[in-house]
Amino acid sequence: MNITAAKAVAGAVRTTLGPKGMDKMLVDTIGDVVITNDGVTILKEMDIEHPAAKMMVEVAKTQDDEVGDGTTTAVVIAGELLKKAEDLLEQDVHPTVIAHGYRQAADKAQEILKEIAIDVKPKDESMLRKIAETAMTGKGAESAKEKLCDLAVRAVTMVADDDGTVDTDWVKVEKKVGGSINDSEIVEGVLIDKERVHPGMPKKVTGAKILLLNAAVEFKKTEVDAEINITSPDQLQAFLDEEERMIRTIVDKIVASGANVLFCQKGIDDIAQHYLAKANVMATRRVKKSDMEKLARATAGNLVSSIDAISKEELGYAGLVEERKVSGEEMIFVEKCKNPKAVSIIIRGGTEHVVDELDRAMEDALSVVSVVLEDKKILPGGGAAEIELSLRLRDYAASIGGRAQLAIEAFASALEIIPRTLAENAGLDPIDKLVELRAAHEKGKKTFGLDVFEGKAVDMLKAGVVEPLRVKTQAIASAAEAAVMILRIDDVIASAKSSAPEGMPPGGGGMGGMGDMGGMGDM
């Protein structure tokens, strides 16, 4: 039962694999629609009850968190490993033997992959572009693939640290419906989905000195509950004048520091807005924390948490800060920073579904490029790595012998599901193509994979179909782990513990539970 459930999940995403894979339309109970080709998105949205099937979803999630691409590959391989195990179980091979063989095969596969990996120089932009292109193909972004790949590579190389590590969180992707895919652009700095707080403020500031403030530009309210008794009108006037003076002092401090652009994480009072506008300072309030961090990184300014700490030294710099309309909404562009270690990408498209899918494709591209910059190793795509692994593992199985040999051979033939699926999804004959690929690899052509557009075995490096090494190592490792885990389950037993929280258990058990917990504390 467990194997059947897991295979069903793999079967659901299998048709999306490869450049010619189909998309899925997911409709939830409210009627919201998601159209996607992305394995992990499909699995996250699917309503899955079966515990073994949920493990397959975990495989995809892990793959997505670690590498960001190859989620479908991981799930499909896991499903096929279980299918092959089922055949062995029917031949009376014990599950433990299969599990042991699978583990050996997975370890050996990791070694072989590292051996056949190809080194890449981080400066090799054309190769990075090919990697981004491979990740995006089949995700509905073909029409403007070159443009989007270029954006992804530029963004990742800009935010990369000197030691080669890349955190893709520094790349902000903003989705805007309207315009065409070709209108997508990169902002060498930060894009903020806010507008100026006062119409009297300048729309455009060149040579911006930016103050990043995490404190409210408002008069201080008393910390404790306090009443202020006012008995005459002149006292009231004095009170209001004092409030205004307090705000004026804050604004004077901001202006005195030389800042002409203010990004505030908290609120800005109406009176303060008036004074800031008079002083020609462009200000925005309630900016998200994540955006403030990106601004600090892009403009080399510091986040200031107290009004008293405002000084010239804390300011960041940007060549241009401007408010522009993007498809009917005002947004603030912070551009021309000296060394933008945080950048933004605007993705445009005709409909919401198109933009969402482009956003997912962009996430994948950013992830794979950053992974390659860190690992500096790639593999040929198009099923080339899987066919090579399959051949080498069969030789390895023969050297092991015994019953484990059967399991390792099953693992080897399970890997062929990837090129087979690529062929099936492209409407080619899977058996012919597999034979053709095997023949090429037996002649020592390690980089030959299936070109689904040409319909024949081609050198994948020349065709520019390449993937990061980590995509494959992670996919095979997590697929093998999930398969072994499901294989080792021999019974599914419904546990009775989880029904208690509905109400208090009978017989005042709730109190007993509390007492027991006290006892545990004493132990």
Residues marked active site are found at 38, 71-72, 364
Number of DSSP helices (H) and strands (E) in the chain, helices first: 18, 17
454-462: long-range contacts, CB 8 A cutoff, minimum separation 24: 455/426, 455/428, 457/433, 458/382, 459/380, 460/380, 460/381, 460/382, 460/384, 461/118, 461/380
The answer to whether 281 and 263 have CB atoms below 8 angstroms apart is no
Asked if residues 114 and 448 have their Cβ atoms less than 8 Å apart, the reply is no
Cα 318 from Cα 338, distance rounded (Å): 7
β-partners of residue 377 are 119
Which residues contact residue 238 at a Cβ distance below 8 angstroms, ignoring those fewer than 6 apart? none
Beta strands in 92-140 (DSSP E): 118-119
Q: List the structure tokens of 163.
A: 């030691």
What's the token pair of residue 164?
A: 């080669």
> H or E element: which one contains 261?
strand 261-264
Q: Phi-psi bin for 482: left (phi > 0), alpha (psi -120 to 50), beta? A: alpha
The values of phi and psi at residue 488, to 5°, are -80, -5
Q: Partners of 449 in the beta sheet? A: 458
